[in-house]
Amino acid sequence: MTVILIAVAALVVLSLIFGAVLGFAAVRFKVEGNPIVEQIDALLPQTQCGQCSYPGCRPYAEAIAENDEKINKCPPGGEGTIAAIADLLGVEPEPLDAEHGTEKESAMVAVIREDECIGCTKCIQACPVDAILGAAKQMHTVIADECTGCDLCLDPCPVDCIDMVPVDTGLQSWHWQKPANLIATDKGQAA
Amino acid sequence: MKLLTLSSPHTTRSFSTADVMRLVILALIPGIIALTYFFGPGHLIQIFIAATTAIVAEAGILKLRKRPIGFYLKDYSALLTAILLAISLPPYAPYWVTIVASGFAIIVAKHLYGGLGQNPFNPAMIGFALVLVSFPVPMTTSWSAPSELLENGISLSEALTVIFSSRESIDAFTMATPLDEYKHLVAISTADEILANPLFKGTEQSQILLGWEWVSAGFLLGGLFLLWKKIFTWHIPVSLLVSLILCSSIFGWDSDTNVPLTLHILGGATMLGAFFIATDPVTASTTHLGKLIYGAGIGILIYVIRTWGSYPDAVAFAVLLMNFAAPFIDQYTQPRTYGHKKAVRGLAKKD
Amino acid sequence: MNLITLHEFKGGIHPPENKEQSTSLPISTMKLPEKLVLPIAQHIGAQSKPVVNVGDSVLKGEIIAQAQGFVSANLHAPSSGTITAIEDRVIAHPSGMSDICIEITLDGKDTWTEIQGIDNYLEADASELIAKIQASGITGLGGAGFPTHVKASVDESKIDTLIINAAECEPYITADDMLMREHANAVIKGIEIIERIVKPKHCLIGVEDNKPQAIAALNEALKNFTDNTFNIQVVAIPTKYPSGGEKQLIEILSGKEVPAGGLPSDIGILCQNVGTCFAIYKAISKGEPLISRITTVTGEACRQPQNFEVLLGTPVKDLLSATHTQLEQVNRLIMGGPMMGFTLEDTNTPVVKSTNCIIASSKQELPDPAMEQACIRCGMCTEACPAQLLPQQLYWFSKSSNLEQATAHNIADCIECGACAYVCPSNIPLVQYYRHTKGEIKQANADKLKSDRAKERFEARLARQEREAAEKEAKRKARAEAAAKKQAEKKATEAIAPATSADAPAADLELLQKKLDAAQSAVKKAKEKIAAAEEAGDSDKVALLKGALAKSQEKMKEAAKAIAEAKKAAKAAPATTGAAAVEMTPERMQNKVDLAESRLATAKKRLEEAQANNSEQVDALNTAVEKQQARVAEAKQALAEFLKQESAAPSVDLDALKQKVLAAQTRVDKAQERLDMAKQQELDTVSALQTGLEKQQSKLKEAQDALAEASK
């Protein structure tokens, strides 16, 4: 009987000690704010395109962090972003959810066909990053360097004068392609 | 005129992976000759069995993995693994031991990890370790006595019989390795008494072994050849041998109580391990400092396992244990890049 | 022979040299091509800007594109002719892309423009020499093409050693070798000019020991400068690729390492290519801008490999035909050396300032790359790497696109020399992996910057929208408040002058009238009750009722008074509103009369009905009819009164004035009385009372005047 009592007492004491330690740690090492949101937000492409159905990248990051939202809803970021977030959160990367769009092969930028623009300012209001310049009844133009290629200006345009064109791979941005991962055959040739 | 568009360099040394493998196999020849001369044709038969198994296993698994068989078989890596395994095994081990070891080495230790270049552990040593722990009896009793001790030597037919069918006659020409023998006897006898054993050649310290020293010399020769051909650098063999010598001199200076240094260096698989097993580039450390640590680690482990462990030889386990550590060692022994004050240590931390 | 200690750089390889093919013939000059194509970007830094137009004729040495900014270089016409195009053409770049080029169709006369060198240049100012170099458009001729004047514009106190890179470690290339053999004197003079500019303590010319003739020529030339005031020394260095890499050569000759991300000048060293020295000499002594260079044309497909002094802009195909190249044999056409050069897709690609070699190789000579095999971690690349990197680690990181680790493992320090790929037994195109990864890292950094900026802009936009919404809300609130305030103000003014609103007094009047009615009826009832009580002989009750009657009468009086006052106030209202009130009130009163009459009519009707039916209600209805009659009468009276007041308004005014006069008179009288009393008793208040009297008298007078005026 005494043995049992000693054992129980020992367990109680231990649990108290460890409880105190854990409690102390929880207070002492408390993390202010929710840095995981920041970290996820930093991985997102910041196109603010809303293709994930959230009004911007940060709300999506918050949804991932707080509401267990899926990480595969960002088409502009594509597989790279999914892999990075999966790595950050320690979850399995999933293929991009096609419901929200597909990854584009190259970066796109919006271009306004300026002679067709009627100066309605609808695209200016739609642009999440204020990359369209113009005023009412004046021709609008896209600041190509600031355009994130989010497509949000396409729909509001009443005269359909905005095109998405791939960003020009000029000499400045050219770099060597990754060597093709060729599968060897018995002939020693690429298959 | 169609012009190629390629990244530089446009010229490469015509020295392929297959050439590397072939050179290593070539360098093994002196050792194999010595083995055959002193211990009969057992090793040759084992090489044949292991090689056949390895090539069949490699071809089969390449087929399963839908990889071109010819292209990969031509890199000689499976053959090299098989040969290294075969000369590590006891020459008169039953054929199924060799088949299991060789098949396991290729299928599990090599291809299940992704094939050539991806395996974290030395496949030959994985095969060897598997059969050593699984079948300890044939693995310890199939070592041949040097043919000098036998009246007629070992004929091919005798060898084939022992390996493939009847093991009745095996006691006639097998005995433990000198390393094993000495280790067991030293507890009850003095050095002089042990050396009186016919396995050892008299009392002269310089010639204590029958045949084994020549086998070691053969492997040393091959190793030096590879060193000269710059297949590997001096770091691993030198640090391995130096650490083993230091351990033996410090802890085992008294040959009445411990296995003597000469036996550590020349008996057993030390030379084979130092020049051919530990230097397997895939599983070894790759930085200079890392190689020194890696080699020294193997040397120390060999001594520890031989002296305080219960296995006849320790090269396989020592190498495998250090294989575990190699990636970690690499991360912390990176060279200082040109123009940098400090070397990179470890992987970049995520903030 | 060497007086300095040589150091060895780690790594390096010994590829077959293949240099002897192109050294058997002397440097020759090509016949003038028909056209020259000059890319405007032949240097590191800002693109220069064309200063000629299509159709302009230019003379040899005339400037055709102006440097933009300090880190940029001028471009000159290599021969005389006409500008026939300024457009995109294939340029010397590994991508095979096009860029803006100036095409000159030559006239074949090769007429020089006026050029002027600097006399006694060894006494000239450094700034003058640098300006001349800058004007001549000289860039590093070793390969990178960095503008020379930028490199030379270092703080002279910083430079301890000038190193002349004449190692020429790449296989095949012999341009520098032949230059030194044939123009050793000019090279030394060029070096002297650089020394004049940066004033180093000594100068080392690093030449690989596989060029004994060049070393001999240089030493021979140095003998002409007997005093050797510039302390120039030729150093033969062991042949090992890439000893000609700037960093490696510095390590060989000085034992020092250029800090990562730094410049050789950080360790007191300036490094110049030997070809650049020659160009500097020509520019300073003769005033010739950089319009030509020495280029090796070699390779197995070349029948006559040799070096040429080539005009910049010469298409490669002209060089190939000059060396009788078997075009059908050419498998790979390389600009630069076999280790670091790049392949050309088009033989129209022009020679540029940094083109030191053209290799037209056959398939046997430089076979197509073998199949990439698995990395066996053999470590040969690590042994070969001159930058002491871990090429295979970088390969794993590159292959898995792990940019973070690749950066951490110093991929930026890779000089892309190709030694690792050269030794790789698995034929892995390591350099391409690194170049790709470096490009990706650059891209990722640019993307990161862009996404940060996008985020910033997005957040700024959100903030702006919020602010705008807040402002809108605030404005709306302010408007609402202003409206409420106005309303309140209006009410306040109405309260101060009730007459301004026609409704208010009317309502008040009505209310007062009702009160009066109630009081009157109460008085009536009380009188009836008293009568009843008197009849019953209840004296107590009578007394009580009389008290109540008195009270009621009082109330009635008060009400009547209030009505009178209210009516007075209504009259005192300003004319306009007063008019409205006058207009409104009689109508209302008329309505009231009508209403009362109609009610009376219904009451009478009911009474008649009741009488006909002999109902018990007859009495009650009778009273009701009476009441209604009274009301009608009241209403009529009120209306009549109102109308009368309306017409009698001025007379009322007169009456008021008269009253005022009377009141004033009384007060004057009273004051007079008090004064008299005070005088009698000889009080000291006399004077004060006197003043009071006077005041009263003046007020009286005023009132009398007003009355007189009003009555007029």
> Which position has the higher pLDDT, B65 or B86?
B86
Domain count, chain A: 2
Which helix (H) or strand (E) is C163 found in, with range? strand C161-165
| Dist. CA B75–CA B17, nearest whole Å | 6
Smallest Cβ–Cβ distance between C259 and the set B19, B334, B339 belongs to B339
List, as ranges, residues 94-153 from C with C-beta within 8 Å of B: 94, 96
Q: Are residues A95 and A42 in the same domain?
A: yes
B7 and A184 in contact by Cβ < 8 A?
A: no
Contacts of C689 (CB under 8 A, 6+ apart): C671, C674, C675, C678
List, as ranges, residues 372-411 from C with C-beta within 8 Å of B: 373-380, 382-383, 386-390, 392-393, 404-405, 407-410
What ranges in A35-175 are assigned the alpha helix state H?
35-43, 57-67, 78-89, 122-126
Residue of B11, B62, B341, B350 for testing the chain C interface, max C β-carbons within 10 Å? B11
Tell me which amino acid residue A185 is. Answer: T
| pLDDT tens column, C661-686 | 787 787 788 778 777 877 777 766 67
Match 């290629």 to its residue by tokens: A149
SS (H, E, C) C546-598: HHHHHHHHHHHHHHHHHHHHHHHHHHHCCHHHHHHHHHHHHHHHHHHHHHHHH
Average pLDDT over residues C455-482: 90
Q: Which residues of A touch B72 (CB under 8 A)?
A: 184
Contacts of C143 (CB under 8 A, 6+ apart): C336, C340, C354, C356
C99 and A46 in contact by Cβ < 8 A?
A: no
Rounded (5°) CA angle C405-C408-C412: 110
Give the gap in angstroms from C-alpha B330 to the nearest C-alpha of chain C.
Answer: 10
Average pLDDT over residues C92-99: 86
| Dist. CA C163–CA C243, nearest whole Å | 13
Smallest Cβ–Cβ distance between A129 and the set C433, C435, C457 belongs to C457
User: Is the per-residue pLDDT at C645 higher than 70?
Assistant: no
User: Is the per-residue pLDDT at C584 higher than 60?
Assistant: no
SS (H, E, C) C119-155: CCHHHCCHHHHHHHHHHCCCECCCCCCCEHHHHHCCC
A184 and B71 in contact by Cβ < 8 A?
A: yes
The per-residue DSSP string of B202-270 comes to SS-GGG-BSSHHHHHHHHHHHHHHHHHTTSS-SHHHHHHHHHHHHHHHHH---TTTS--HHHHHHSTTH
C-beta of residue C49 within 8 angstroms of C-beta of residue C362: no
pLDDT score, position C593: 73
Q: Are residues A96 and A43 in the same domain?
A: yes
Q: Are residues A139 and A152 in the same domain?
A: yes
Range of the domain at A155: 105-168
A186 and B68 in contact by Cβ < 8 A?
A: yes
Q: Are residues A112 and A95 in the same domain?
A: no
Smallest Cβ–Cβ distance between B71 and the set A176, A179, A188 belongs to A188
pLDDT score, position B200: 66
Which chains are adjacent to chain A, needing at least 3 Cβ pairs under 8 Å? B, C
pLDDT score, position C525: 74
C392 and B10 in contact by Cβ < 8 A?
A: no
Q: Are residues A127 and A163 in the same domain?
A: yes
Q: Please tell me which residue of chain C has the smallest CA distance to B229.
A: C380
Write the CATH number for A44.
1.10.15.40
Q: Please tell me which residue of chain B has the smallest CA distance to A88.
A: B350
Domain boundaries, chain B: 17-175, 178-333
pLDDT score, position C1: 43
* A77 three-state secondary structure: coil
The CA-atom distances, in angstroms, between B218 and each of B211, B271, C57, C260, C332 are 11, 9, 80, 47, 46
Count CB-CB contacts under 10 A for residue C620: 13
C-beta of residue B61 within 8 angstroms of C-beta of residue B109: no
Average pLDDT over residues C348-364: 91
Smallest Cβ–Cβ distance between C418 and the set B4, B8, B115 belongs to B8
Give the gap in angstroms from C-alpha A181 to the nearest C-alpha of chain C.
Answer: 8
Match 């090599």 to its residue by tokens: B110
B157-166, C369-378, C512-521: the lowest-pLDDT one: C512-521
Q: Is residue A124 part of a domain?
A: yes
Q: pTM of the prediction?
A: 0.75
Q: Percent of chain B, pLDDT > 70?
A: 89
DSSP B105: I
Residue of C457, C459, C466 for testing the chain A interface, max A β-carbons within 10 Å? C457
Q: Please tell me which residue of chain A has the smallest CA distance to C41.
A: A171
User: Is the per-residue pLDDT at C651 higher than 70?
Assistant: no
| Dist. CA C645–CA C394, nearest whole Å | 112
- Rounded to the nearest integer, the mean pLDDT of chain C is 83
User: Is the per-residue pLDDT at C563 higher than 80?
Assistant: no
| Dist. CA B256–CA B268, nearest whole Å | 19
Q: Please tell me which residue of chain C has the smallest CA distance to A187.
A: C371
C122: buried, middle or exposed (CB in 10 Å: 19+, 13-18, 0-12)? Answer: middle
C-beta of residue B115 within 8 angstroms of C-beta of residue B7: no
Average pLDDT over residues C57-81: 91
Q: Which residues of B touch C382 (CB under 8 A)?
A: 286-287, 335
Furthest-apart CA atoms within chain A: distance in Å: 96
The CA-atom distances, in angstroms, between B74 and each of B18, B282, C378 are 7, 18, 18
| Dist. CA A20–CA A18, nearest whole Å | 5
For CA atoms A107, A113, A118, A119, the dihedral sign is positive
Q: Does B120 touch chain C (CB under 8 A)?
A: no
Q: Is residue A18 part of a domain?
A: no
User: Is the per-residue pLDDT at C399 higher than 60?
Assistant: yes
| pLDDT tens column, B323-351 | 999 999 998 998 899 988 888 887 776 54
Tell me which amino acid residue C669 is. Answer: D
What ranges in C497-538 are assigned the alpha helix state H?
503-536
pLDDT score, position B241: 95
Q: Which residues of B touch C173 (CB under 8 A)?
A: none
Contacts of C263 (CB under 8 A, 6+ apart): none
User: Is the per-residue pLDDT at C527 higher than 90?
Assistant: no
Count CB-CB contacts under 10 A for residue C395: 24
User: Is the per-residue pLDDT at A41 higher than 90?
Assistant: no
Q: Percent of chain C, pLDDT > 70?
A: 87
List, as ranges, residues 330-349 from C with C-beta within 8 Å of B: 330-334, 336, 338-345
Q: Please tell me which residue of chain C has the smallest CA distance to B77.
A: C376
C454 and A173 in contact by Cβ < 8 A?
A: no
pLDDT score, position C581: 43
| Dist. CA B11–CA C419, nearest whole Å | 10
Q: Which residues of B touch C362 (CB under 8 A)?
A: none
Give the gap in angstroms from C-alpha C202 to the nearest C-alpha of chain B.
Answer: 23
B16 and C418 in contact by Cβ < 8 A?
A: no
Q: Which residues of C touch A57 (CB under 8 A)?
A: 455, 458
Confidence of residue A164 (pLDDT cuts 50, 70, 90): confident
Q: Please tell me which residue of chain C has the smallest CA distance to A150.
A: C454
pLDDT score, position C712: 64
Q: Are residues A56 and A70 in the same domain?
A: yes
List, as ranges, residues 215-234 from C with C-beta within 8 Å of A: none
C638-646 own/partner pairs: CB under 8 Å, 24+ apart: C638/C513, C638/C589, C638/C592, C639/C586, C639/C589, C639/C590, C639/C592, C639/C593, C642/C567, C642/C585, C642/C586, C642/C589, C643/C586, C645/C567, C645/C571, C646/C582, C646/C586
| pLDDT tens column, B226-278 | 999 989 999 999 999 999 999 999 987 777 778 888 888 887 889 999 999 99
A173 and C458 in contact by Cβ < 8 A?
A: no
Q: Please tell me which residue of chain A has the smallest CA distance to C370.
A: A188
B57: buried, middle or exposed (CB in 10 Å: 19+, 13-18, 0-12)? Answer: buried
Q: Percent of chain B, pLDDT > 90?
A: 45
Confidence of residue A184 (pLDDT cuts 50, 70, 90): low
A176 and B7 in contact by Cβ < 8 A?
A: yes
Q: Does B157 touch chain C (CB under 8 A)?
A: no
Architecture per CATH, C116-288: 3-Layer(aba) Sandwich (3.40)
Smallest Cβ–Cβ distance between C433 and the set A41, A57, A178 belongs to A178
Confidence of residue C500 (pLDDT cuts 50, 70, 90): very low
Residue of B63, B69, B71 for testing the chain A interface, max A β-carbons within 10 Å? B71
CA-closest candidate to residue A51, choices A151, A124, A191: A151
Tell me which amino acid residue C620 is. Answer: A
| Size of the A and B interface in Cβ pairs below 8 Å | 15
Tell me which amino acid residue B306 is. Answer: R
| pLDDT tens column, B38-61 | 888 889 999 999 999 999 999 999
> Which position has the higher pLDDT, A46 or B125?
B125
Q: Is residue A10 part of a domain?
A: no
Average pLDDT over residues C459-481: 91
Q: Is residue A29 part of a domain?
A: no
Confidence of residue C294 (pLDDT cuts 50, 70, 90): very high
Domain boundaries, chain C: 116-288, 378-493
A89-98, B151-160, C478-487: the lowest-pLDDT one: B151-160
Average pLDDT over residues C640-657: 63
Average pLDDT over residues C246-262: 91
pLDDT score, position B206: 43
CA-closest candidate to residue B269, choices B24, B90, B40: B90
Which chains are adjacent to chain C, needing at least 3 Cβ pairs under 8 Å? A, B
| pLDDT tens column, C217-251 | 999 888 877 666 778 889 999 999 999 999 999 99
Q: Is residue A143 part of a domain?
A: yes
Which chains are adjacent to chain B, needing at least 3 Cβ pairs under 8 Å? A, C
pLDDT score, position C228: 66
Supply φ then ψ for residue C13, to 5 degrees. Answer: -140, 170
List, as ranges, residues 245-264 from C with C-beta within 8 Å of B: 247, 251, 257-262
C24-53 burial code (b ≥16 CB/10 A, e <16): eeebeebebbebbbbbbbbbbbebbebebe
pLDDT score, position C683: 67
| pLDDT tens column, B115-160 | 888 899 999 999 999 999 999 888 888 887 777 666 667 788 888 8
The per-residue DSSP string of C368-381 comes to PPPPP-------HH
The strands making up C81-90's β-sheet, listed across from edge to edge, are: C35-39, C98-106, C81-90, C57-58
pLDDT score, position C473: 93
Smallest Cβ–Cβ distance between C443 and the set A46, A173, A190 belongs to A173
- Rounded to the nearest integer, the mean pLDDT of chain A is 83
Residue of A48, A88, A109 for testing the chain C interface, max C β-carbons within 10 Å? A48
Q: Does C343 touch chain A (CB under 8 A)?
A: no
| Dist. CA C57–CA C55, nearest whole Å | 6
Q: Is residue A180 part of a domain?
A: no
Confidence of residue C620 (pLDDT cuts 50, 70, 90): low
| Dist. CA C81–CA C60, nearest whole Å | 8
Q: Is residue A127 part of a domain?
A: yes
Show the tokens assigned to C303: 């029948």
The CA-atom distances, in angstroms, between C341 and each of B292, C37, C70, C144, C323 are 37, 21, 28, 11, 20
C-beta of residue C79 within 8 angstroms of C-beta of residue C311: yes
Q: Which of A73, A100, A127 is the last residue of a domain?
A: A100
Supply φ then ψ for residue C666, to 5 degrees. Answer: -60, -45
Q: Are residues A124 and A154 in the same domain?
A: yes
Q: How many CA atoms lie within 13 A of C13 on its CB side?
A: 25
Q: Which residues of A touch B67 (CB under 8 A)?
A: 183-184
